[in-house]
Amino acid sequence: MDYRSNVTYITFGGHVEVHKYRYLYFVIMFMVYILIISSNFTIVCIIMIHKNLHEPMYIFIAALLINSVLFSTVIYPKLLIDFLSEKQIISYPACLCQWFSYYWLGVSDFVLLSIMAYDRYVSICNPLKYTTIMQKTTVIISLILAWILPACQFSILILLSANKEICMFHSKGILCNSTVLTLHCVRSRTLSIFGLVNFVTGVLLPVLFILFTYARILVVSYRCRGVRRRAAQTCLPHLLVLINFSCLSAYDVLLPRLELDSPKIVRLIMALQVVIYHPLFNPIIYGLKMRRIYDHIKKLFCRAV
């Protein structure tokens, strides 16, 4: 606590020998950040430029990749500053802001993935009704809801947390995520219930919806051989992204609640997987597995060479 400015500061204790390897950490993470920005924006620009990619599925992919860029921008600049600083600290209001952005964008990803699953369901199972259902207005409303609803959800949680007194000023992590709850003097039942509701509505229900949707697609694909290849080409990348993101999210959500006293190096590796693996995984999967996007990327690099 800084009594002169009446600002509360949180110290990050999750770094491993940061004073010894600070420049190595900085260079590696800076390169990863540039790679994330360039890879995601390359595919987004390809989707924007080429008219044959102006379809709902590719628009939703672009939105998902924009989320990856926003997510990384919330995390990486602060991480890079911490690597070069003597003390790895953050003000409590800034910590709450990072916490909000972290989960807002995370839940937004799940909503977008569920919308994409529905889009594939309509395209494969009801192809004659696809243009009627997935109109431009439907796509715009879906995108707005995918960003607005999670923001409203977590705004309430952040406002409730901002009024809670904190007694712990040392975090075991390297960023502000759900570990913020462990800083409070008293565990709030209201916060726990509201957090559970957010988890069910923002993560569990979208995942169940996606699994149900792809199960229906699998049934149709099994019955009709003509749609098997199309279903595999367009649905497999979404499923890979969902599995990857779900595993990382499960760890992130369960760790502070189970209060696992794991070694610092294990916590650091898992935290880095969340901030590195997911934002890089999305453009790689969609760039390699989506045939149209891959063709445009190949043409782009051939011209560059």
Do strands 89-91 and 170-171 pair parallel, antiparallel, or not at all (unpaired)?
unpaired
For the CA atoms of 200, 206, 212, 215, the dihedral, rounded to the nearest 10 degrees, stands at -130
What rounded mean pLDDT belongs to the chain?
Answer: 82
Span 151-163, average pLDDT: 84
pTM: 0.87
- In the structure encoding, which two tokens stand for residue 52, read together? 């044959």
Q: Which residues contact 78 (CB under 8 A, 6 or more apart)?
A: 90, 98, 175
Which CATH code for domain 9-304?
A: 1.20.1070.10
62-93 pLDDT, tens digit per residue, is: 999 999 999 999 999 999 999 998 888 888 88
Q: Which residues contact 99 (CB under 8 A, 6 or more apart)?
A: 158, 161, 176, 177, 178, 180
Span 90-108, average pLDDT: 89
CB atoms within 10 A of CB 285: 18
8 A C-beta contact, residue 36 and residue 72: yes
8 A C-beta contact, residue 115 and residue 61: no
Show the DSSP H helices in 92-227 as ranges: 92-125, 130-133, 136-162, 189-199, 205-223
Nearest to 151 by CA among 102, 220, 95, 80: 102
Confidence tier at 139 by pLDDT (50, 70, 90): very high
26-51 pLDDT, tens digit per residue, is: 999 999 999 999 999 999 999 999 88
pLDDT of residue 2: 45
DSSP bridge pairs for 184: 166
pLDDT of residue 3: 39
pLDDT of residue 145: 93
Span 260-281, average pLDDT: 76
Q: Rounded to an integer, what distance in angstroms lies between the CA atom of residue 74 and that of residue 97? A: 9
20-30 pLDDT, tens digit per residue, is: 888 998 999 99
